[in-house]
Structure 1
């Protein structure tokens, strides 16, 4: 089911979380917060929208991390009904695509619900004070053609790092609905 995310609620605080990777390493919002902010990305393994953008997303994540922005990727889907999203598959997905951010298991879906995540991918960009400043898409590229893309998420997070404020004009992310229990 194709969904659009809500517009940015500027300044909304980042909900706390403590989640583990499939390998058992635990990360929290505070441990991942970078000196210049935090990006929380809700993704999953099976979504065609995530699969279409994953290589661009990984490249942008690496750039953001190098610029002092922390990143968390969170999988909130019900993997009982969507076994491709099981934690052991998450670890392979992350390794296959060279994901440098922790890919965290939201087993009880409480973190996805606390953030108000709607779809995969769904991006939440916070300034260093923990206020929401970006709730938009990765870029303007068509599903299969990233030629000449404008990296909207990357540009927005750079602006947030520099000014603590996100762009006023943001295009919502689009993707498959999160699979709630």
Structure 2
């Protein structure tokens, strides 16, 4: 299980737009379609990564807790499905159903969206404000598979609370850590 950190991206960077197919609904979505009135959380993830599987229950709770408060939530898988067929769109649909993911789970076939975001790992969290500017790019919390620290979502939840309630946010943000995106 290789540990790849997320890339450092300047806060205030504008969210790249995209048009990708949702494996849950077969609809195509853009950033504009999924953005929330308070902000938008873009999560790069996949079906097979042990880091994603570890944090998925907390991701789903965060989505459920904050969407009602005006946060748009979307997940994107950009992995090469030739080398990692377990991340195919058909299996993404199944994965979303089995895990009760009811936010869009998009497939980035060309990997252009992951490159535009400079995503590096799964999970990789990008939180944008209501002006589509990067507000937070960091970890969910300190929990990792097998490190004994319980999931809390504390880092990401603090960032979302700061965004929604107009609080200041610590400029020091710990990068997310996970499996590398499987590039073609």
Taking structure 1 as the reference length, the TM-score comes to 0.94
- Equivalent runs, 1:85-124 vs 2, <5 Å: 85-124=87-126
Distance between the aligned counterparts of 2:92 and 2:149, measured in 1? Answer: 24
Distance between the aligned counterparts of 2:57 and 2:17, measured in 1? Answer: 28
Task: Give the deviation of 1:40 after TM superposition.
Answer: 0.4
Task: Give the deviation of 1:68 after TM superposition.
Answer: 0.5
Distance between the aligned counterparts of 1:90 and 1:150, measured in 2? Answer: 23
Structure 2 residue runs without a partner (length 5+): none
Structure 1 residue runs without a partner (length 5+): none
Partner secondary structure for residue 165 of structure 2: helix
> Could you list the per-position Cα deviations for residues 97-145 of structure 1 after superposition, in whole angstroms to 9, with x for gaps in the alignment?
1112100010111100000000000010000000001110111224244
Taking structure 2 as the reference length, the TM-score comes to 0.92
Partner secondary structure for residue 139 of structure 2: coil
Conservation of the 8 A alpha-carbon contact between 1:9 and 1:133: no
Q: Which moved more, 1:26-35 or 1:142-151?
A: 142-151
Paired residue for 2:3?
2
